[in-house]
A and B are shown apart, each in its own frame.
Chain A
């Protein structure tokens, strides 16, 4: 089953070619065999998954279909509150996040028939770009042992790539869905701010947090987004805009779609192999009918800085208690990041929020008058070796992590939808990926672009050989 997709498995279950119990048992067999190395799970819910699969199978036999994800194994980042399971948020405290509100996005996926395999490893408090975690183990890259899986939704990306579940929920405050997707060779979508409810998920930064899906293909991600998206009374920031069927337009092609390759910022200082991979993908998209041109963007550095300041400030306010009462429980790199947030003045924080509004209007107006989507790299350097990261001081580590997320972070500040799509491999066998960014609420175009590319390039058929 590791070579299947979420959409393929859902179709197999609906057609009776595979049972939910069989699907879950196959995932469990892979988890038992390989999660000792990958460390994608913080809490595997084996009994819960089997119980849900048996109920799902009985429903299928009786013709009671719960929804488009009936019987499909899914994983949830361990900052989503699911009833009956503790939520550690990657800390050493098993029940760090206690909430009366169930995670709305996760609930919707389960209501649509998805089966929870359990809670997934992540960087502590979702702060970090690499997927390391001193409490629960560093998440390993399925494509190459000892290399970063990307963070903070590290278990979500690595677990999909390893075939432990067919789709996962991640959160993204500065790139935390797109970085693990890019590092692990799967598709990850950060939707527009307000498109998916964050209710029932731990807050890192209420202004920058997004929840979104990771899976093997754009079609898989579209199926998950169909279920996750939409207004939610429990999250006042959700948009009331209607949710389209994201799968409906996937086959429409990309003829005439205007794609912009940034002249500034996004290719500056980027590893040659990564930049070449993205440019090759752009040529392929051009061959599929897109109109590709270079575009000069309003300086993204300003939005990167503003986003970082807002995130630091809000994260310190949210997580002040653990910092003050149990600082020894936190990893030094996390403590160092929170410490900075306490020193940011209210004046700077509020000016940053006001600037964000102005920068967003200017960016959207200038960029999307010229193009329909931007194409950029996801990460600026190849997935680093975990051992090399361990050798850094907390200060060096955080500085490097800041650089690692500099291509994704601007779009958290801008609130724009952004998708990470695999586009090949480095000479060392690590996945390459591109990021496509669209207008507000234009996830459908990004998914169509990603689907068209995947169908042509076929990288998603290649799977890691775990060893």
Chain B
């Protein structure tokens, strides 16, 4: 397989993955919710400080 052909295959594969996974994303889903997920699910947010 040539280098260019390899790149095309890789890009098509990535696009296919996105198409498969993103089909049912909610309208409200946006990138900043990643930070919210981390901040909101920290251990001490759930069950209080337990370390140190």
Give A residues with C-beta under 8 Å from B: 192-194, 237, 239, 241, 244-249, 252, 302, 305-306, 308-309, 312, 336, 339-340, 343-345, 347-348, 350-358, 360-361, 364-365, 368, 394-395, 415, 438-442, 444-445, 448
Q: Is the CB of B11 within 8 A of A344?
A: yes
Q: 5 new A-B pairs (CB below 8 Å) besides A193-B34, A344-B11?
A: A192-B42, A252-B52, A340-B11, A350-B31, A365-B41
Query: Which residues of chain B are within 8 angstroms of A439 by Cβ–Cβ distance?
Result: 41-43, 46
Cα(A305)–Cα(B51), bound, Å: 33
Q: Is the CB of A244 within 8 A of B52?
A: yes
Cα(A192)–Cα(B37), bound, Å: 12
Q: Is the CB of A354 within 8 A of B52?
A: no
10 interchain pairs, CB-CB under 8 A: A192-B38, A193-B34, A244-B49, A245-B52, A312-B14, A340-B11, A343-B11, A358-B25, A395-B1, A440-B38
Query: Which of the residues A350, A358, A360, A395 comes within 8 Å of B6, measured between beta carbons?
Result: A395
Majority secondary structure of chain A interface residues (helix, strand, loop or mixed): helix
Known: A305-B17, A442-B42. A336 touches B34 (CB 8 A): no
Known: A241-B42, A352-B18, A415-B34. A442 touches B51 (CB 8 A): yes
Q: Is the CB of A351 within 8 A of B25?
A: yes
Cα(A248)–Cα(B25), bound, Å: 42
Query: Which residues of chain A are within 8 angstroms of B51 by Cβ–Cβ distance?
Result: 244, 249, 252, 442, 444-445, 448
Query: Which of the residues B6, B18, B25 comes within 8 Å of A348, measured between beta carbons?
Result: B18
Q: Is the CB of B29 within 8 A of A354?
A: yes
Give B residues with C-beta under 8 Å from A: 1, 3, 6-7, 10-11, 14-15, 17-18, 21-22, 25-26, 29-39, 41-44, 46, 49-52
Query: Which residues of chain B are within 8 angstroms of A438 by Cβ–Cβ distance?
Result: 43
Q: Is the CB of B3 within 8 A of A394?
A: yes
Q: Is the CB of B33 within 8 A of A357?
A: yes
Majority secondary structure of chain B interface residues (helix, strand, loop or mixed): helix
Residue in chain A with minimal CB distance to B25: A354
Known: A194-B35, A360-B34. A442 touches B43 (CB 8 A): yes
Cα(A364)–Cα(B3), bound, Å: 38
Query: Which of the residues B7, B30, B33, B41 comes within 8 Å of A364, measured between beta carbons?
Result: B41
Cα(A14)–Cα(B5), bound, Å: 61
Cα(A348)–Cα(B18), bound, Å: 6
Known: A245-B52, A343-B7. A354 touches B30 (CB 8 A): yes
Q: Is the CB of A356 within 8 A of B21?
A: no
Min CB distance B51 to A, Å, is 3
Query: Which residues of chain B are within 8 angstroms of A355 by Cβ–Cβ distance?
Result: 18, 21-22, 25
Query: Which residues of chain B are within 8 angstroms of A237 by Cβ–Cβ distance?
Result: 35
Cα(A438)–Cα(B33), bound, Å: 19
Cα(A343)–Cα(B3), bound, Å: 14
Residue in chain B with minimal CB distance to A438: B43
Cα(A357)–Cα(B22), bound, Å: 12
Cα(A351)–Cα(B25), bound, Å: 9
Residue in chain B with minimal CB distance to A446: B51
Q: Is the CB of A356 within 8 A of B41?
A: no
Query: Which residues of chain B are within 8 angstroms of A348 by Cβ–Cβ distance?
Result: 14-15, 18
Q: Is the CB of A353 within 8 A of B43?
A: no
| Best-buried of A247, A302, A351 by chain B (most CB within 10 Å) | A351
Min CB distance A134 to B, Å, is 18
Cα(A440)–Cα(B46), bound, Å: 11
Cα(A313)–Cα(B41), bound, Å: 28
Q: Is the CB of A415 within 8 A of B38?
A: yes
Q: Is the CB of A344 within 8 A of B14?
A: yes
Cα(A394)–Cα(B3), bound, Å: 9
Cα(A364)–Cα(B37), bound, Å: 8
Cα(A8)–Cα(B37), bound, Å: 38
Query: Which of the residues B3, B31, B50 comes within 8 Å of A356, measured between beta carbons?
Result: B31
Query: Which residues of chain B are within 8 angstroms of A239 by Cβ–Cβ distance?
Result: 38-39
Cα(A344)–Cα(B50), bound, Å: 43
Q: Is the CB of A361 within 8 A of B7?
A: no
Query: Which residues of chain B are within 8 angstroms of A340 by Cβ–Cβ distance?
Result: 7, 10-11
Cα(A306)–Cα(B36), bound, Å: 18
Query: Which residues of chain B are within 8 angstroms of A350 by Cβ–Cβ distance?
Result: 31
Q: Is the CB of B11 within 8 A of A441?
A: no
Min CB distance B35 to A, Å, is 7
Residue in chain B with minimal CB distance to A445: B51
Query: Which residues of chain A are within 8 angstroms of B31 by Cβ–Cβ distance?
Result: 350, 353-354, 356-357
Min CB distance B36 to A, Å, is 8
Q: Is the CB of B41 within 8 A of A302?
A: no
Query: Which residues of chain A are within 8 angstroms of B38 by Cβ–Cβ distance?
Result: 192-194, 239, 360, 364, 415, 440-441
Residue in chain A with minimal CB distance to B52: A249
